[in-house]
């Protein structure tokens, strides 16, 4: 009438503040993905501890930590779905969180563009605004193109999701493109702001740190390319 959970998982958003955690654990390790189950675990359960990750590069407004389960006893009712359905539940979650992550990267790309445009129009050098320099215009133009391309890709995936159409492929494309756009935009924004890009007086240094997040979480950029590439080559269809 109960399960005993053991293991640790690091890099968990809100680990140190959560009341409930979704824990994916093997109930039948020999079955690999099909032996994985999902549990809703209360953080006050005996054997549940967490600790914060104090120092990270960015995303300072989003706490991150580690969860440690040592003979953590949970009632049988904590099982979500049936035994062996954990991997399926995890993948269905990823379908949603990956898309919202793509939207986050897109927003960051846009914020970088807005900051760079405003600064370029205001900063005077050699008797004119730096926006008048063609190289700055080229930098801004690429940021615009990449941000708009990512926006359309994110919207396409979102429309497909709203329509209930399989969209793993389109979500991976959108997430990869948005993460790339965010990172390039943050890099360019810092350059356009010159020394102020390197200071905390303007937000672009923070954007630069936060942009890396989008290339890591909800499947790294490599994982997105893996999904997209295997689909294109006919090795493994993403929208099954
Ligand atoms: C701020 C933050 C918050 C997070 N919050 C959560 C959370 O709430 N819940 C949660 O579960 N996780 C969370 N994570 C963890 C995050 O999902 C993982 O860090 C991410 O999935 C990458 O896994 P990893 O760090 O183990 O990298 P690894 O898997 O060790 O990858 C290392 C490198 O190898 C590459 N690589 C790995 N596998 C392949 C492959 N098959 N083909 C090609 N290249 C490959 C990767 O792209 C990467 O470049 C968070 C991470 C961060 C930074």
Residues in a beta bridge with 48: 69
Contacting residues for 155 by C-beta, under 8 A, at least 6 apart: none
> CATH for 90-232?
1.20.140.10
- Give the pLDDT of residue 95: 85
- Where does residue 227 fall: left (phi above 0), alpha (psi -120 to 50 degrees), or beta otherwise? alpha
Provide, rounded to the nearest whole percent, the portion of the chain with pLDDT above 70.
100
Between the CA of 218 and the centroid of ligand 1 the distance, in Å, is 8
Please give the torsion angle defined by the CA atoms of residues 130, 133, 138 and 141, in that order, rounded to the nearest 10 degrees: 50
The model's pLDDT over 132-145, given as tens digits with 9 standing for 90+, comes to 999 999 999 999 99
Specify whether the CB–CB gap between 80 and 11 falls below 8 A.
no
Q: Tell how far CA 232 is from the center of its chain.
A: 23
**138 in catalytic set:** no
> How is 56-115 classified by DSSP, letter by letter?
-SS-TTS-EEEEEEEEEEEEGGGEESSTT-HHHHHHHHHHHHHHHHHHHHHHHHHHHHHH
Is ipTM strictly over 0.95? yes
Specify whether the CB–CB gap between 26 and 7 falls below 8 A.
no
> Where do you find CATH 1.20.140.10 in the chain?
90-232
The residues of the chain scoring below 70 in pLDDT are none
Q: Which mutation among 64, 220, 223 tests ligand 1's pocket best, with the greatest number of atoms within 8 A of CB?
A: 220
**Structure tokens belonging to residue 38:** 């999902």
Coil, strand or helix: which one is 10?
A: strand
Coil, strand or helix: which one is 129?
A: strand
Could you tell me the CA-to-CA distances from 84 to 33, 38, 39, 113, 199 in Å, in that order? 8, 8, 11, 46, 50
Which class would CATH give 2-80? mainly beta
**Structure tokens belonging to residue 235:** 């090795």
Specify whether the CB–CB gap between 178 and 154 falls below 8 A.
yes
* Annotated catalytic residue, options 147, 170, 188, 218: 218
Q: Whose CA is nearest to atom 25 of ligand 1?
A: 216
Coil, strand or helix: which one is 13?
A: strand
The model's pLDDT over 136-187, given as tens digits with 9 standing for 90+, comes to 999 999 999 999 999 999 999 999 999 999 999 999 999 999 999 999 999 9
- Give the pLDDT of residue 108: 98
Closest CA to 9 of 62, 65, 77, 90: 65
Q: Whose CA is nearest to atom 15 of ligand 1?
A: 11
> Where do you find CATH 2.40.110.10 in the chain?
2-80
Helix (H) or strand (E) holding 179: helix 168-192
């Amino acid at each position: 009438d109960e399960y005993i959970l053991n293991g640790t998982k690091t890099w968990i958003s809100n680990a140190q503040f959560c009341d409930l955690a979704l824990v994916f654990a093997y109930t039948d390790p020999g079955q690999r993905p099909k032996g994985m189950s999902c549990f809703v675990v209360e953080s006050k359960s005996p054997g549940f501890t967490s600790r914060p990750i104090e120092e990270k590069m960015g995303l300072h407004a989003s706490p991150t930590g580690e969860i440690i389960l040592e003979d953590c006893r949970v009632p049988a009712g904590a099982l979500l779905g049936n035994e062996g359905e954990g991997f399926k539940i995890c993948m269905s979650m990823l379908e949603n969180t990956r898309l919202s992550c793509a939207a986050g990267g897109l927003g960051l790309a846009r914020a970088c563009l807005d900051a760079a445009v405003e600064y370029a129009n205001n900063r005077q050098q050699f008797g004119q605004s730096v926006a008048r320099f063609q190289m700055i215009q080229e930098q801004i133009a690429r940021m615009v193109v990449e941000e708009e391309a990512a926006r359309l890709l994110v919207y396409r995936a979102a429309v497909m999701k709203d329509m209930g159409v399989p969209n793993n492929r389109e979500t991976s494309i959108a997430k990869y493109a948005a993460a790339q756009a965010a990172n390039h935009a943050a890099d360019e924004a810092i350059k356009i702001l010159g020394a102020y890009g390197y200071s905390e007086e303007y937000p672009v240094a923070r954007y630069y740190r936060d942009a890396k997040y989008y290339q890591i979480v909800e499947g790294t950029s490599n994982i997105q390319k893996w999904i997209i590439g295997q689909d294109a080559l006919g090795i493994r269809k993403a929208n099954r």
